[in-house]
Structure 1
Amino acid sequence: MTDAENTRVTSWRLLLSNPVTMVSAVLLAAVVVIAVAAQWIAPYGVNDVDVPSALRGPSAQHWFGTDELGRDVLSRVLVAVQASMQVAVASVAFAVVVGVTVGVVAGYRGGWVDTVFMRVVDVMFAFPVLLLALAIVAILGPGITTTMLAIGVVYTPIFARVARASTLSVRVEPYVAVSRTMGTGHGYILARHVLPNIAGPLIVQTSLSLAFAILSEAALSFLGLGIQPPEPSLGRMIFDSQGFVTLAWWMAVFPGAAIFVIVLAFNLFGDGLRDVLDPKQRSVAEIRRMERRQ
């Protein structure tokens, strides 16, 4: 077995031996299923109004209770989770593509290209994430597409920074220098040597960014600038529940719990990936695993 194969086997063992990571993976798998099949598994229509059944607590008929219009809260939470995941995945995918491209080009080329790209990134970092997202949505108008774009733009600098820092360390490696002396094209070097060796930090950052994208979407929707009614969103559901907190606690608790569980699962899974993909963290994790065995 080669060293690379041994490393992969060890990484999988570390990942599977961490109970917290495995629980978070199971939770994320359930979230993915909900994101794909929410329309089919929701017991009621998200906008089915039933005023006589308004503000009824959790029961066998309505597991999460009903809201002020008699709509089933469980159905709305399921579809809202689907919408949040769509926004998070699309926005983070945009940030990964643009941010990694900028970071890799800046780190690999260096010189004035690095200076220009990183100064633009620094300017974007000067604005708080939510404030910049609010400004973008305010200019372009609220809606799900604008929300995706706004969140994607504000998280692009993070991936640019991570990609650039990793590229700076990889480009000075001997195998990259040998490829250059052999006349290998820059595109091949980037695809064959640079990108595979910087994938670890980027994967971890992607997991963490998905969690923060969920929070950002909920915050924008809470402020009325994200997903627009009548489409349900977790942030908007919490906003609508403000006037009924003492009468119908379930209207705020269940959407809030959904946000909490999803964000926590992404963060814990990201920590587990970091323990596996980061050589220093992997060494510490291996020592802990051996201590547990003893």
Structure 2
Amino acid sequence: MTVTEGRVSSWRLLLSNPVTAISAVVLVAVVVIAVAAQWITPFGINDIDVPNALQAPSGSHWFGTDELGRDVLSRVLVAVQASMRVAVVSVAFAAIVGVTIGVVAGYRSGWVDTVVMRVVDVMFAFPVLLLALAIVAVLGPGITTTMLAIGIVYTPIFARVARASTLSVRVEPFVAVSRTMGTGDAYILTRHIVPNIAGPLIVQLSLSLAFAILAEASLSFLGLGIQPPQPSLGRMIFDAQGFVTLAWWMAVFPGAAIFVTVLAFNLFGDGLRDVLDPKQRTMIEARRAGRQ
């Protein structure tokens, strides 16, 4: 089987699961919103129309209006865009730093591994949200510090995943042969180690994006994340607290956006794990062969 055929087979296996396929469609829609939110919003996100405040969902305002008459749909779309931007940047930062640390620690072993992983263990001792709150409290609220805080707290996760995978790959025969041929460490790391640990990292990437969206919403809900007048899902839910009985839509639609996006990332991550994990993939293929 060629590399291209293998990739096609992997995609077919991934999308043959209805749950994974639906989650993939949802994520594609989220990506489209994240890219084109500014052009598809029916109203301005800060267009105040007090006479039409607290309108229920209707043909003119699909998600209703808030206490200032602003269109909730427009604000949800832009808030999803902001959440995705924070999640992608922070997780990319965590992945780059964490994978670098984990691969080097796992490959070098010895005192380097001991020192690095003890620092990672110390960071793991703190709850993720609590550590993010502490970082934002020190640096000040805002979108940049939110990205940095979430990136820092998720770095240890990638470091652990990368280290564990590296420890298993570094003892493989092809790595030993490459060493005996005098190949440099940088070449071995980039051409042998990293490509062979990509599977678990891709799965972790998907799951971390989900939790990063939750972390951003939590920080914004507490007033430490994205700051007004820029809409954020967490802040919209906070502002809706006083209008729950009068305007349920103010909290329901931002909450639904968080729920659907996070669930889609988690389900897609589970599907990726089934495909990229050789044991899981073999079991799935065996079950389907038995049905046929």
Give the TM-score range, shorter chain: over 0.9
1:241-252 to structure 2, matched below 5 A, reads 241-252=240-251
1:215-246 CA-to-partner distances (Å, cap 9, x unmatched) read 00000000000000110000000000000000
Residue pairs, 1:213-224, within 5 angstroms: 213-224=212-223
| SS across alignment from 2:61 | coil
Alignment of 1:43-192 (within 5 A): 43-192=42-191
Give the partner amino acid of 2:99: V
Aligned-pair distance for 1:6? Answer: 5.6
Which amino acid counterpart does residue 38 of structure 1 have in structure 2?
A: A
Structure-1 separation of matches of 2:159 and 2:150: 15
Deviations 1:30-84 (CA, angstroms, capped at 9, x unpaired)? 0000000101000000000000000000000000000000000000000000000
Give the C-alpha shift of residue 288 in structure 1. 2.8
Q: What count of residue pairs does the alignment treat as equivalent?
A: 292
Structure 2 counterpart of 1:275, one-letter code: D
Q: Deviations over 1:247-270 (max 9, x none)?
A: 000000000000000000000100
SS at match of 1:241: helix
Alignment partners' CA distance in 2, 1:139 and 1:123: 19
The alpha carbon displacement at 1:15 in A equals 1.0
> Match for residue 277 of structure 1?
276
Q: CA deviation at 1:290?
A: 2.4
Structure 2: how far apart are the matches of 1:35 and 1:8? Answer: 27
TM-score w.r.t. the length of structure 2 is 0.98
Partners of 2:110 and 2:46 in 1: CA distance = 56
Match of 2:198 in 1: 199
3-state DSSP of counterpart to 1:175: helix
Structure 2: 5+ residue runs without aligned partners?
none
State the distance in 1 between where 2:37 and 2:4 align: 39
List, as ranges, runs of 4+ consecutive aligned residues in structure 1 with deviation greater than 6 Å: none
User: Paired residue for 2:253?
Assistant: 254
Instruction: Name the structure 2 match of 1:32.
Output: 31
Q: Distance in 2 between matches of 1:7 and 1:149?
A: 37
**Residue identity opposite 1:250 in structure 2:** W
Q: For the residues of structure 1 that align with 2:250 and 2:8, how far apart are their CA atoms?
A: 46
1:127-185 residue CA offsets vs partner (Å, 9 max, x unmatched): 00000000000000000000000000000000000000000000000000000000001
- Superposition TM-score, scaled by structure 1 size: 0.97
Cα distance in 2 for partners of 1:13, 1:230 equals: 44
Code of the aligned partner of 1:102: I
Which amino acid is the alignment partner of residue 276 of structure 1? V
> 2:4, 2:238 → 1: CA distance?
50
How far the C-alpha of 1:19 sits from its partner, in A, is 1.2
Whole-Å separation in 2 of the counterparts to 1:212 and 1:291: 37
- The 2-side partners of 1:264 and 1:285 are apart by 22
Query: Identity across aligned pairs (percent)?
Result: 85
Return the offset for 1:284. Answer: 1.6
The 3-state SS of whatever aligns with 1:60 is: coil
